Amino acid sequence: MELTANGNIQDAAVKLAEKKSYRKPERRAAINPSGRFLIVAPVDDWLFEVVIGVEKQEGEEMGGVLITGDRPEGERETVSAVEPPKLSYGRGVAAMGKFMKYRSKSFFSAIVRRLSPHVQCDGYEYDDSDSSNNDVTEIKLSGLKVIVEMKSEPDKALKGIINLFSSDMGLAKEYEFLTEIGLGLRNVGGYINGAWKACGPVVSTVNPANNQVIAEVVEASIEEYEEGVQACFDAAKIWMQVPAPKRGEIVRQIGDALRDKLLQLGRVVSLEMGKILPEGIGEVQEIIDMCDFSVGLSRQLNGSIIPSERPNHMMLETWNPLGVVGVITAFNFPCAVLGWNACLALVCGNCVVWKGAPTTPLVTIAITKVVAGVLEKNNLPGAIFTSFCGGTEIGQAIAKDNRIPLVSFTGSSKVGLMVQQTVNERYGKCLLELSGNNAIIVMDDADIQLAVRSILFASVGTAGQRCTTCRRLLLHESIYQKALDQLIEVYKQVKIGDPLENGTLLGPLHTAASRNNFKKGIEVIKSQGGKILTGGSVIESDGYFVQPTIVEISPSADVVKEELFAPVLYVMKFQNLKEAIEINNSVPQGLSSSIFTQRPDIIFKWIGPLGSDCGIVNVNIPTNGAEIGGAFGGEKATGGGREAGSDSWKQYMRRSTCTINYGNELPLAQGINFG
């Protein structure tokens, strides 16, 4: 919950107490009478400390909330306790109503302990007198003794508290599997120089299937970004000197560690992003495949020997690491795109700075924990792989940072253009994976059943939130109605529901904003002459579900040129191959395309110079579901980047052409005689 300095703080405190105390009463952890909870929320110029706990007074448990606000200049204000509704002690969480004294110069003059079912609190000591004895607070946790110096280094104290108490009262039962991959109800969202730390805003990550909070994440601050990138930059000097096959061995171990947690990691991808479980598991498998690919690549980072026109001269190419590679990923593939980039970057000798999507921080943390464990096991600097959970501030910092020569960005064409401009201003390199507006063409000789199955997966998979989703379906006029009738029939059979349940084919959209964009998009479609053939509505539920939709529309409609990130398929007729290719190529984007036909002449025209202008040109398969062995990426407004297989690795290294004179003469190229 966000507390605002201008609002009624006491009302906010009561709501916060209710949220923490009553939401899942059957899953509360036991709390002792001196137990307290700490919530820190930066708002404008203020930092609020909210203390919720219980206090026994004259044999009774008293409830209340104490809020203190600290301005940067050190002024301290205390809001007196307010009484929440009556609380039952034992498995409930009440609130402490005791008024506490604070020293103005001390950022915290009390440490509060949030209990967990898994961590026992042996107690803490607190001196609330006005003397200077409260400058140091002692905490004892399960035999671990921690001293935090409050007065001299308040910022460090804040970070230490958040890091130390990153767990909460326990996850909801359906989310308990998260503990198997190192996640809890409160998670630290920065892996910096081999340590977990973060003191930025606290955000809640939401299950899009029911709009319920899964867990909380403390995001990294811009100061922690600076610390992390500098450590990563320094670690690059070590990592790039490790022989490439040895680097490949580390990536192999990362792949094995991911295999060990494949099901759990796939489940958290599905839970947090909203894609169905087979797709979530498949996404993690994609990183594993990239690890395998990169292990072999680590022994094949070959340069060329080039014949020289000069006697006693040798020309050759050498490939060296760039140093640090920045990777900014999107919510729809919260970890696979990291794998495309990081696996190649690491074997090429680069360190990695990763900013995951703000709405999928649990995936970012879980994958980072796997990588961090491998680095630690091999006594390598943790800073080789640095990750941040955060918003646009972190992304902008990566784009502007001269220490990061290559930035890989996945997202919309609009934002990608801004990233590219920022990186270009400092003469950095950009690798862009942006919007797609992909078409499937079904010719008159096509296997219609095969085409319909492919179209269903391409247009409905991941709820239409893949960059390779089929958004335009071009049907030859002679088979138009037959193919369309079959497609509408299978659309009506699509099971919509919880993405973690067996048999579900269509999960929710990722956010409430995505659902609103769907509604607005349908209105625009109708206003431009589109006819809804099936679907077209939001499904009323707690989650962000919408109906898979087929729209009959003209290829010249403006809305067809845009990417609506939802399961909306535009259907249109064509008369011949030339017209179909023109429609395919008529949009600003150029990511993926596919044609269904049995005729070799059509196939080779389609993949030739006058065929599809996309980076991915398929025949008799969907537009989505690319293998990692080929280079992935597109043209035009898709950005021109290439990731994953083929020779994409070359983008993560700098090429040097070396000419060596091993003779005693100095012949010049092009036969020039100079003096």
Kindly name the residue from 49, 219, 286, 433 that is annotated as catalytic: 433
Alpha helices, H only, 383-479: 392-400, 413-425, 448-460
- 433 as an active site residue: the answer is yes
User: In Å, how far are 111, 178, 472, 519 from 2, measured between CA atoms?
Assistant: 21, 25, 42, 28
User: For residues 103 and 108, what is the distance between their CA atoms, to the nearest angstrom?
Assistant: 8
448: Cβ contacts below 8 Å, ≥ 6 apart: 442, 479, 482, 483, 486
Count CB-CB contacts under 10 A for residue 80.
11
Contact between residue 145 and residue 139 where contact means Cβ atoms under 8 Å apart: yes
Tokens 């005693």 sit on residue: 664
Alpha helices, H only, 182-315: 222-239, 244-260, 262-273, 277-297
First to last CA, the chain: 78
Contact between residue 566 and residue 465 where contact means Cβ atoms under 8 Å apart: yes
- What are the structure tokens assigned to 526, written together? 């109708």
- What are the structure tokens assigned to 93, written together? 């969480």
Tokens 């969907």 sit on residue: 622
Pairing of strands 76-82, 531-534: unpaired
Helix (H, G, I), strand (E, B) or coil at 303: coil
416: Cβ contacts below 8 Å, ≥ 6 apart: 409, 432, 434, 639
Tokens 């479609």 sit on residue: 525
Which one-letter DSSP state was computed for residue 73?
T
Q: Which helix (H) or strand (E) holds 494?
A: none
- What are the structure tokens assigned to 511, written together? 């956010």
138 bridge partner residues: 147
Which one-letter DSSP state was computed for residue 556?
T
672: Cβ contacts below 8 Å, ≥ 6 apart: none
User: For residues 574 and 555, what is the distance between their CA atoms, to the nearest angstrom?
Assistant: 10
**Phi/psi zone of residue 620: left (φ > 0), alpha (ψ -120 to 50 degrees), beta?**
left
User: In Å, how far are 106, 231, 234, 336, 658 from 384, measured between CA atoms?
Assistant: 36, 8, 9, 19, 29
- What are the structure tokens assigned to 441, written together? 């063409």
User: For residues 352 and 250, what is the distance between their CA atoms, to the nearest angstrom?
Assistant: 14
Helix axes 244-260, 262-273, angle to 10 degrees: 70
Tokens 């539920």 sit on residue: 541
User: For residues 90 and 96, what is the distance between their CA atoms, to the nearest angstrom?
Assistant: 15
Pairing of strands 643-644, 631-632: antiparallel
- What are the structure tokens assigned to 275, written together? 């894609």
Tokens 């003191």 sit on residue: 199
User: For residues 517 and 509, what is the distance between their CA atoms, to the nearest angstrom?
Assistant: 10
Question: Which sign, positive or negative, has the C-alpha torsion 421, 630, 368, 238?
Answer: negative
- What are the structure tokens assigned to 545, written together? 């579900």
Question: Which sign, positive or negative, has the C-alpha torsion 624, 371, 237, 387?
Answer: positive
The residues carrying an active-site annotation are: 433
